[in-house]
Structure 1
Amino acid sequence: MIRLPDWEARLHDYLAAHEGAVFAWGVTDCALFAAGAVEAMTGTDPAASYRGHYSSAAGSVKALRRYGAGTLSDTISAAFPDRATGHARRGDLVMVDDMVGICIGTDAVFVGEENGVAGLVRYPRAEWARCWGVG
């Protein structure tokens, strides 16, 4: 997947639209949130085969086994090249505690809840376990 010429504006708009997003399995979970960001930047939805196939944590595990490479990290690794977390660029995929989010610089954003408020939650680079390059 190659990033579109206006990927930065597209990513900005996508993230702005998800500022108050509420986590929901199969709708706005971490994987679909990250895949939506990739689609915004590239025009290609890497999770198209997963959408509509699960609505729970257990269902997501089954979908990853059926349509992916077994686990979330293995499925992402099958589609995107690994990148050292220290070399992450804005828009790359980042993993923290088995959640996937989007690098926005020195932080990454994930859909979730912080202090009782739903929306995008930031994690600093020091907490990132893995990174994958997008485009």
Structure 2
Amino acid sequence: MYRKPDWDARLAAYLEPLRLRPFAWGSHDCCIFAAGAVEAMTGVDPMPEFRGRYSTAIGSARALSRFGKGTLAATLDDKFEPVPAALAHRGDIVMTDGLLGICWGASLFAVGSEGEREGLVMIERRRWTNARGWRVQYGF
């Protein structure tokens, strides 16, 4: 799976309608959000085995045990090339303190809340802690 030549426009188009969409297990959580971003950039859904398989936190953990590698990080290690989060490029997947999102240069977009507003939140790179990254490959 490789990024399409217009991956940046595809990613921006994917993010726009999600700005105010609230978190929902199994339909708009960090795993489904990041997988959707990768699908937007590459045309390939990297996590089809998880779609429609859970609707709660416990269900998510069960799905990771049944269809993944036990944890979200281990599942991503199996599907993508791990990279230090400090070297993540725009469009790469990043996890910080268990929150998974998409790198947007000096920030990360993830599903969350800011005050009473739910939807996509932006976390500045300098606030990433215990961060891990995974490369979404470029095509040649």
Report TM bin, short chain: over 0.9
Q: Please name the residue that 2:46 is paired with.
A: 46
Residue 12 of structure 1 and its aligned partner are, at CA, apart by 0.4
Report the Cα distance in structure 1 between the residues aligned to 2:134 and 2:47, rounded to whole angstroms: 15
- Aligned to 1:5, what secondary structure does the other structure show? coil
Deviations 1:21-69 (A, max 9, x none): 1100001001000000000000010111110110000000000000000
What is the match of residue 134 of structure 2?
A: 132
For the residue of structure 2 that corresponds to 1:89, the secondary structure is: coil
- Give the residue type in structure 2 aligned to 1:75: T
Indicate the residue corresponding to 1:111 in structure 2. 111
In the alignment, the residues of structure 1 paired with residue 51 and residue 84 of structure 2 have an alpha-carbon distance, to the nearest angstrom, of 29
Q: How does 1:74-93 map to 2 (within 5 A)?
A: 74-93=74-93
Q: Deviations over 1:66-91 (max 9, x none)?
A: 00000000001100111112211110
| Conserved? CA contact 1:92–1:131, under 8 Å | yes
Unaligned ranges ≥5, structure 1: none
- Alignment partners' CA distance in 2, 1:89 and 1:2: 14
TM value normalised by structure 2: 0.94
Q: Separation in 1 of the partners of 2:65 and 2:20?
A: 30
For residue 112 of structure 1, report the CA deviation from its aligned partner.
Answer: 1.1
Q: Aligned-residue CA RMSD in angstroms?
A: 0.8
Match of 2:69 in 1: 69
1:28 is aligned to 28
Rounded Cα–Cα distance in structure 1 between residues aligned with 2:38 and 2:17: 14
Larger deviation, residues 119-128 vs 83-92? 119-128
Instruction: Give the number of equivalent residue pairs.
Output: 135
Identity of aligned pairs, percent? 50
Mapped partners of 1:81, 1:21: distance in 2:
29
- SS, match of residue 86 in structure 1: helix
Residue 9 of structure 1 deviates from its aligned partner by 0.4
Q: Which ranges in structure 2 are unaligned for 5 or more consecutive residues?
A: none
If the length of structure 1 is used for normalisation, what is the TM-score? 0.97
